[in-house]
Structure 1
Amino acid sequence: MQLAIAPGTRGVQQLTVSNSGQTTTGQVQVIYVTPSYTNIDRVAALPDGCTMRYENPDPGVPEVVSCLLPAGIEQGESVHLAMPLDAPLEARLTGTNRGMLTAYPVDGSPDVENTLNDNWAGTYLQFTAPTPALPAGNKVNLYLAGSLPVLAADGTATAVFTYGNAGRNATTGTVEISAVTPFTLNIDRDKQLPDGCEIVLADESIAVSEQILCTLPALAAGEERQIAIPLKAPAQSPAGLLYAPALVSPGTGDVDTNQIDNLGALMALAPDRSA
């Protein structure tokens, strides 16, 4: 599922969904979250059965595609999806980037999963040279890091983003953080999001990851701040490390000098409490 692509070009990420259990009798919902600094290529067609679930032309905000696979996927059978991607010139970095892929029976399906641990995966994208030159503008250097909270017995956790500006100049405008919840996790509706944050893709079903977008005040040179994101897991959730992509980016007029440290993750550790 890794794709090598240069900024300013297009490519296709090959996705594979496999069935290791009995033949499916209902449909399967597949959710694909684009890696940061990419968009779905509007020139090419989506795979059959796929539609845009969340659209945003800003390459700093992931887009989401939802696909319905028909019933009758046999044991050992794999379904392949070719997802068209556009890497715009705003992607001024080389290195590894990631999105996310999940698969789960549709609501109301008679099919039951034996385990959720293998129903999700990171999708990797390698940005290659040549890297576009920096455009004119106020030069800043933002960074983002996410904490690794442990889900409590009631399924709740609070993930903390630390973000800052390591550049010599203050940002002239706002700072934006976008984040996707890990597989099965939702934003905890019983707690408040930080000021400036909103849920732009709200869906509390297991199959669909939610998405938040935070528009935050300007950062001085050398300034660092934190925001807390409340999470909640359903009764049925995979165990282990759960993560999904996150990104910090500057607003209009500011230019980030190194985007590789803009990439982060929204994470939680789910202990196995079944014993």
Structure 2
Amino acid sequence: MEDAFKAKAAALVDDLVEKGAFDAIRDLAEVFPLTVFPDALGIDNEGRENFLTYGAMVFAGMGPENDYFRSLMAHAPKVLPWVAAKCLRQALAPGSFGAQVYEAADTGEITEEEAPLLVRSFLSAGLDTTISAIGMALYSLARHPQQWAILAANPSLARAAFDETLRYDTAAPYVFRTTPHETEVAGVPIGKNEKVLLLIASANRDDARWERADQFDITRRVAGHIGFGTGIHGCVGQMVARLEGEAVLAALAERVASIEIAGEPLYRDSSGLRALSSLPVRVVTQ
């Protein structure tokens, strides 16, 4: 998928850079994943804007209900049946990720009932997180012009820059788990069926693991961050997300000498993601 992703990123970035100023979230971070990721899953173009509502809905529902979550859920009667229909076998392009899930059902690796749920899980977990991560990468780089200068001089650092953002300003800063049995963590007893909040962002800024943990440095050796989880909870689609982030950042770095924030960044009121809803920027070409 690399060539197709990079070609689409280049075309999108060319149009934006020509304008000189744009919203890095609404015009880029949201647009690019919504272009390439459903393609990879095998989903057609009709109504893709519904995926933005659906993804935001999933993560906004991870904490206490607020007005943002309730406003999203008002669209549920339309969006949820639409998403379910797009995840059915007959809706997916042959050879796509989605079609391969159904092939696994045909061979007995999973059940027929599990297949559409697994396809939907790609959308639930893989779209909004990547949008947020690309947005935070652009925000981090715009706030650290010396790091942008390093990237612009060497666009091959794009993947490293994306990973450093996942460590430095983690898009999914925590995850929730439920204990299947009584256990103990660091001397603290935890009962069965209790909810546990795991602070990924804290681990990614742990002074015991990282030198200069609070410094954004795209040249650091960043292997070991847990922005994509770890072990059996590692993100199954992380290489696709990395490819998306790399494609966008490399396309910009090849064309843009500097990027600066041109208006007030706005955060989403989401309980499950650290995500921007708007980031006005100005760029100067190479």
TM-score, normalised relative to structure 2? 0.27
Select the structure that is richer in helix. 2
**RCO higher in 1 or 2 (8 Å CA, sep ≥ 6)?**
2
TM-score, normalised relative to structure 1? 0.27
